[in-house]
């Protein structure tokens, strides 16, 4: 691994699917896994192409029940490229001798590069060097360039190029019993003698996709004539080029690809646009240069430099790279959310969960325009959320736990436990706390950007609708004179109901309750912040009267929080009655108990019976709010909150969490940092490699974990560099781990670009440019006013 490069120096078929996910290339509009061009779906390879928002619904019968899922469609494979010496075998790295093999992901340039020498059964050696890109400049373009040299043979060669629309969804083994046919063929056609066109459509969502590929061969920089033969069948078109090849001479093969869909803007019709591009796009180099340039601009804004003498830098860049390939400046023109597993695989069906809460902090301070677009994804689904609330008997808007195309609830009804082979109902959809995460994200976007227009036009409407939902969702307990929330599931997905109860949901999940109290108070704050006339409009449109506003206030002060002995915040009412889990015995019995839910279900048991959590739940509060904010929230609720209390709770739940979600390590690393740097660092190291080394054993190959990736970056900026955005100023209170020598980054804070560089001796802040003259930056505990162009250095050595 070099700073911007991940390199694999061997061909390891068994690792190929993981590498494919990690070497995915994308531009926020579409992405293609880093599968070998010559491969097709088999035990070790899974070429997959996904479009942002590319969903399709299908029904399957499982255990006598018809269930509908909205899946993330695997669109046609455009990679297909292969060769054989006339009469020989098509190249297959699993059959050929592979003498040298390197595969590297050049993240600076957004290129996937392979270089290898193979020998077929006749002893013919061929060297191939390939470069691939999915253009970050023009989101519709992609290309492959092969340089092929026959080292010890010279005869006719056949080159095979194709567009394959016969693919199905087969990337996740657990989903194998579900309907996997999402595409129907529409059309194949030869556009001219070197260009092919394929058109398909998703079966239910009628998403039409046109793909075009132009394949040309060059020798000594001139295009050579080849003998061509094109074949077409339903959903598939290929072309064979035959030409005479001279030993030792490099031949360059370029496959240039264009992709359009029926949902594009500024488009007459997808196949027409494809044909237009095929004619105009020129050679590989012509799309390569603006693509590299686009990446250069992105890196200038997004890079986070960390010097620690270890692999941290490369891994952080890998995380930045994949975030920007999943959501990019192209997302602004699309109606898409941020899928928790990227555009890198089919796991979680491309759905949008609450993971935004982990991803937005990185985007807010660099690409707030992307966060804006992603928040608008929610806004455009507000009506569906209103309908869901109404159907459930509530007011306002109830956003779904898993969201897809139109914003209805997309959580699967049944899921397969691969450990037991049993299909079980999925009980996690009652995670209504997503309706606090969205509010939290709106507020924090506003804090980072000062975008009052967004807050007033869209944010407040979502915020108030969510507040209205919760106001109708709480129950009032007269004896306690407090509000309660019953029948929900908290972030910890291991607890979905009380032991042996048929009824789903738990009462008073502490995290949810506190978040709701917080959001009520913020809703009232926003009401005072935006124009009075807009407030009147909203109250009228959303049917909110003074009485309801008083209820919001009452809830913000009188929300019940379950406490146990010694100030322990109980995860939910009745948590104290659960049994302690025999952690040691299970660690001995199983290699990996991260997914304790699957282990226990396979033993006909359930985590519902134990004090065992999948991920941070109560502790999420200590990640989302700092100590001062927590003190205020709890004070409002009539409780004292102290650092000691926080530490006690962390210690308690730390011993009872299996980290069955990659998000958990991140939160633990964050919350432990202030008082147990060693364990925090250990968690951070695990977090960094969680996808790169696939620490959950087989999940990364189904898609990366974007929340955890973004979380690692957020730790650098908000914990180690100590950046905190508050109402009055941007605070910077560095607290570098001893392993880290230096951090360099730049952020966009309320229209200003600020460059920050910190080591153990000094902190350098440069107010580089912006749209106004002055900005308040708090360093340690004093606020300084910076003018444009000003650079100041602060002494950190005494800290
Ligand atoms: C976690 C959720 C998360 C989801 C998608 C689950 O395993 O428990 O918190 O939202 O994955 O990343």
Q: What tens digit of pLDDT does each residue of 649-659 get?
A: 999 999 999 99
Atom of ligand 1 nearest to the CA of 355: 10
Backbone angles phi, psi at 752, to 5 degrees: -110, 140
Average pLDDT rounded to a whole number, residues 300-327: 94
Is the beta carbon of 403 within 6 A of some atom in ligand 1? Answer: no
Average pLDDT rounded to a whole number, residues 174-198: 96
Res. 775: pLDDT tops 70: yes
* pLDDT interval class at 247 (50, 70, 90): very high
Distance 694 CA to ligand 1 centre (A): 16
Altogether, the residues listed in the chain come to a count of: 799
Nearest to 53 by CA among 19, 28, 32: 28
Nearest to 170 by CA among 46, 57, 66: 46
Angle between helices 356-364 and 312-326 (to 10 degrees): 100
3-state percent helix, strand, coil for the chain, nearest multiple of 5? 35, 30, 40
Distance 333 CA to ligand 1 centre (A): 27
Enumerate helices (H) and strands (E) in the chain, giving the number of each.
21, 32
Is the beta carbon of 145 within 6 A of some atom in ligand 1? Answer: no
Query: What one-character DSSP code corresponds to residue 736?
Result: -
Angle between helices 643-654 and 627-636 (to 10 degrees): 100
Mutate to test the pocket of ligand 1, among 353, 658, 659 (most ligand atoms within 8 A of CB): 353
Q: From atom 7 of ligand 1, which residue's Cα is the shortest distance away?
A: 661
Average pLDDT rounded to a whole number, residues 624-633: 96
Task: Considering only residues 696 and 439, tell me which one the structure prediction assigns the higher pLDDT.
Answer: 439
| Residues contacting residue 670 through CB under 8 Å, at least 6 positions apart | 622, 623, 680, 711, 715, 719
Bridge partners of 102?
A: 115
Residue 724 annotated to the active site? no
Residues 60 and 66 sit within 8 Å (Cβ to Cβ): yes
Res. 474: pLDDT tops 90: yes
Is the beta carbon of 401 within 6 A of some atom in ligand 1? Answer: no
Is the beta carbon of 615 within 6 A of some atom in ligand 1? Answer: yes
**CA 446 and chain centroid, separation:** 22
* pLDDT interval class at 217 (50, 70, 90): very high
Atom of ligand 1 nearest to the CA of 348: 5
Query: What one-character DSSP code corresponds to residue 310?
Result: S
Average pLDDT rounded to a whole number, residues 410-421: 90
Res. 1: pLDDT tops 60: no
Is the beta carbon of 459 within 6 A of some atom in ligand 1? Answer: no
Q: From atom 5 of ligand 1, which residue's Cα is the shortest distance away?
A: 340
Average pLDDT rounded to a whole number, residues 457-463: 98
Reduced to 3 states (helix: H, G, I; strand: E, B; else coil), residue 189 is strand
Largest CA distance in the chain: 91
The rounded radius of gyration (Å) of the Cα atoms in the chain is 27
Distance 272 CA to ligand 1 centre (A): 40
Is the beta carbon of 707 within 6 A of some atom in ligand 1? Answer: yes
Is the beta carbon of 359 within 6 A of some atom in ligand 1? Answer: no
Nearest to 360 by CA among 343, 340, 379: 340
Residues 167 and 74 sit within 8 Å (Cβ to Cβ): yes
Distance 4 CA to ligand 1 centre (A): 29
Is the beta carbon of 348 within 6 A of some atom in ligand 1? Answer: yes
Q: Are strands 774-779 and 730-732 parallel, antiparallel or unpaired?
A: parallel
Is the beta carbon of 491 within 6 A of some atom in ligand 1? Answer: yes
**pLDDT score recorded for residue 781:** 85
pTM for the complete prediction? 0.97
Res. 183: pLDDT tops 60: yes
Distance CA 691, CA 700 (A): 6
Nearest to 97 by CA among 120, 73, 122, 69: 120
Q: From atom 11 of ligand 1, which residue's Cα is the shortest distance away?
A: 661
Distance 661 CA to ligand 1 centre (A): 6
Q: Are strands 250-261 and 141-150 parallel, antiparallel or unpaired?
A: antiparallel
Distance CA 40, CA 582 (A): 45
A 10 A CB-CB count for 376 gives: 18
Residue 416, Cβ density class (10 Å: 0-12 exposed, 13-18 middle, ≥19 buried): buried
Average pLDDT rounded to a whole number, residues 434-441: 98
Res. 798: pLDDT tops 90: no
Query: What one-character DSSP code corresponds to residue 75?
Result: B
Atom of ligand 1 nearest to the CA of 614: 8
Distance 330 CA to ligand 1 centre (A): 26
| Residues contacting residue 501 through CB under 8 Å, at least 6 positions apart | none
Atom of ligand 1 nearest to the CA of 351: 5
Distance CA 641, CA 673 (A): 19
Run of H or E including 318: helix 312-326
Dihedral angle, C-alpha 776, 779, 782, 788, nearest 10 °: -30
Is the beta carbon of 355 within 6 A of some atom in ligand 1? Answer: yes
Tens-place pLDDT, residues 21-58: 999 999 999 999 999 999 999 999 999 999 999 999 99
Average pLDDT rounded to a whole number, residues 145-170: 97
Run of H or E including 214: strand 208-219
Q: Which of 416-425, 500-509, 748-757 has the lowest mean pLDDT?
A: 416-425
Residues 759 and 742 sit within 8 Å (Cβ to Cβ): yes
Residues 114 and 7 sit within 8 Å (Cβ to Cβ): no
Run of H or E including 484: strand 482-484
Distance CA 124, CA 430 (A): 60
* pLDDT interval class at 2 (50, 70, 90): low
Geometric angle at alpha carbon 589, from 584 and 590, rounded to 5°: 100
Distance 463 CA to ligand 1 centre (A): 23
Average pLDDT rounded to a whole number, residues 753-761: 96
Res. 768: pLDDT tops 90: no
Mutate to test the pocket of ligand 1, among 174, 340, 410 (most ligand atoms within 8 A of CB): 340
Tens-place pLDDT, residues 97-113: 999 999 999 999 999 99
Distance CA 604, CA 596 (A): 12
Atom of ligand 1 nearest to the CA of 492: 8
Query: Which of the following is catalytic: 493, 548, 701, 702?
Result: 493
Sign, Cα dihedral of 757, 760, 761, 763: positive
Geometric angle at alpha carbon 519, from 460 and 666, rounded to 5°: 110
Is the beta carbon of 775 within 6 A of some atom in ligand 1? Answer: no
Mean pLDDT estimate for the chain: 96
Bridge partners of 764?
A: 757, 793
Q: Are strands 304-307 and 250-261 parallel, antiparallel or unpaired?
A: unpaired
Bridge partners of 202?
A: 183
**Strands (DSSP E) found in 38-166:** 49-51, 55-62, 65-72, 81-85, 97-106, 111-119, 125-134, 141-150, 156-164
Average pLDDT rounded to a whole number, residues 328-356: 97
Bridge partners of 190?
A: 196
Distance CA 255, CA 239 (A): 12
A 10 A CB-CB count for 45 gives: 18
Is the beta carbon of 188 within 6 A of some atom in ligand 1? Answer: no
Is the beta carbon of 613 within 6 A of some atom in ligand 1? Answer: no
Distance 313 CA to ligand 1 centre (A): 26
Average pLDDT rounded to a whole number, residues 443-460: 97
**pLDDT score recorded for residue 282:** 92
Distance CA 19, CA 575 (A): 41
Task: Give the CA distances from residue 85 to residues 160, 242, 246, 283, 589, in Å, rounded to whole numbers and listed in that order.
Answer: 11, 10, 12, 25, 53
Distance CA 416, CA 67 (A): 13
Distance CA 699, CA 685 (A): 18
Res. 421: pLDDT tops 70: yes
Residue 626, Cβ density class (10 Å: 0-12 exposed, 13-18 middle, ≥19 buried): middle
**pLDDT score recorded for residue 794:** 96
Res. 357: pLDDT tops 80: yes
How far the first Cα of the chain sits from its last, in Å, is: 34
């Amino acid at each position: 691994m070099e700073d911007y490069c991940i390199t694999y120096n061997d061909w390891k078929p068994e690792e190929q699917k993981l590498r494919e996910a990690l070497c995915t290339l994308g531009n926020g509009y579409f992405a293609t896994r880093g599968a070998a061009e010559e491969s097709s779906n088999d035990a070790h390879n899974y070429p997959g192409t996904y479009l942002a928002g590319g969903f399709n619904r299908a029904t399957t019968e499982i255990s006598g029940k018809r269930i509908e899922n909205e899946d993330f469609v695997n669109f046609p494979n455009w990679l297909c490229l292969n060769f054989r010496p006339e009469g020989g075998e098509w190249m297959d790295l699993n059959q050929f001798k592979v003498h040298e093999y390197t595969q590297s992901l050049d993240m600076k340039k957004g290129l996937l590069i392979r270089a290898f020498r193979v020998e077929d059964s006749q002893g013919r050696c061929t060297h191939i060097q390939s470069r691939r890109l999915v253009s970050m400049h023009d989101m519709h373009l992609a290309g492959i360039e092969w340089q092929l040299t026959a080292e010890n043979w010279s005869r006719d060669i056949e080159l095979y190029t194709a567009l394959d629309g016969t693919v199905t969804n087969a990337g996740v083994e657990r989903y194998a019993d579900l309907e996997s046919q999402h595409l129907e063929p529409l059309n194949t056609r030869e556009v001219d003698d070197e260009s092919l066109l394929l058109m398909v459509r998703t079966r239910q969502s009628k998403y039409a996709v046109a793909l075009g590929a132009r394949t040309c061969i060059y020798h000594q920089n001139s295009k050579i004539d080849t003998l061509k033969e094109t074949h077409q069948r339903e959903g598939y078109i290929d072309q064979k080029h035959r030409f005479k090849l001279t030993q030792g001479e490099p031949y360059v093969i370029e496959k240039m690809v264009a992709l359009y869909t029926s949902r594009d803007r500024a488009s007459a019709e997808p196949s027409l646009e494809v044909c237009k591009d095929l004619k105009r796009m020129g050679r590989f180099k012509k799309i390569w240069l603006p693509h590299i340039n686009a990446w250069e601009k992105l890196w200038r804004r997004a890079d986070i430099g960390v010097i620690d003498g270890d692999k941290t830098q490369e891994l952080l860049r890998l995380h930045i790279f994949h975030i920007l390939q999943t959501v990019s400046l192209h997302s602004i023109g699309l109606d898409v959310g941020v899928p928790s597993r990227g555009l890198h695989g089919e796991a979680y069906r491309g759905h949008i969960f609450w993971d935004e809460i982990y991803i937005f902090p990185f985007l807010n301070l660099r690409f707030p325009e992307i966060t804006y677009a992603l928040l608008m994804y929610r806004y455009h689904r507000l009506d569906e959320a209103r309908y869901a609330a109404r159907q459930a008997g509530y007011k306002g808007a109830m956003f779904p736990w898993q969201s897809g195309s139109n914003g209805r609830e997309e959580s699967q009804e049944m899921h397969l436990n691969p450990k037991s082979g049993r299909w079980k109902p999925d009980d996690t959809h009652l995670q209504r706390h997503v309706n606090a995460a969205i509010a939290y994200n709106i507020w924090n976007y506003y804090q980072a950007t000062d975008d009052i227009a967004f807050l007033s036009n869209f944010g407040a409407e979502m915020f108030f609708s969510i507040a209205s939902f919760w106001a109708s969702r709480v129950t009032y307990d007269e004896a306690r004179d407090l509000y309660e929330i019953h029948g929900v599931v908290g972030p910890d997905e291991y607890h979905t109901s009380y032991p042996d109860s048929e009824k789903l949901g738990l009462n008073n999940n502490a995290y949810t309750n506190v978040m709701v109290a917080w959001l009520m108070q913020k809703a009232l704050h926003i009401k005072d912040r935006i124009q009075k006339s807009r407030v009147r409009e909203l109250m009228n449109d959303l049917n909110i009267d003074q009485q309801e506003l008083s209820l919001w206030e009452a809830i913000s002060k009188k929300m019940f929080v379950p406490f146990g002995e010694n100030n322990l915040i109980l995860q939910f009412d009745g948590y104290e009655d659960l049994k302690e889990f025999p952690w040691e015995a299970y660690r001995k019995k199983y290699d990996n108990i991260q997914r304790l839910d699957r282990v226990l279900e396979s033993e006909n048991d359930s985590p519902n019976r134990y004090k065992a959590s999948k991920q941070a739940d109560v502790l999420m509060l200590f990640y989302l709010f700092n100590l001062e904010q927590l003190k205020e929230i709890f004070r409002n609720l009539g409780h004292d909150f102290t650092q000691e209390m926080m530490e006690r709770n962390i210690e308690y739940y730390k011993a009872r969490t299996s980290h069955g979600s990659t998000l958990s390590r991140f939160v633990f690393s964050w919350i432990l940092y202030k008082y147990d740097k060693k364990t925090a660092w250990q968690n951070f190291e695990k977090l960094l490699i969680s996808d790169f080394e696939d620490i959950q054993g087989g999940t990364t190959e189904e898609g990366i974990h974007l929340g955890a990736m973004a979380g690692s970056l957020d730790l650098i900026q908000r914990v180690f560099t100590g950046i905190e955005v508050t109402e009055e100023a941007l605070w910077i209170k560095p607290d570098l781990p001893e392993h880290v020598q230096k951090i360099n980054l730049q952020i966009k804070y309320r229209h200003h670009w600020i460059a920050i560089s910190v080591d153990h001796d000094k902190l350098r802040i440069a107010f580089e440019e912006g749209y106004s003259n002055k900005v308040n930056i708090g360093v340690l505990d004093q606020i300084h006013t910076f003018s444009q162009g000003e650079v100041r250095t602060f002494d950190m050595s005494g800290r």
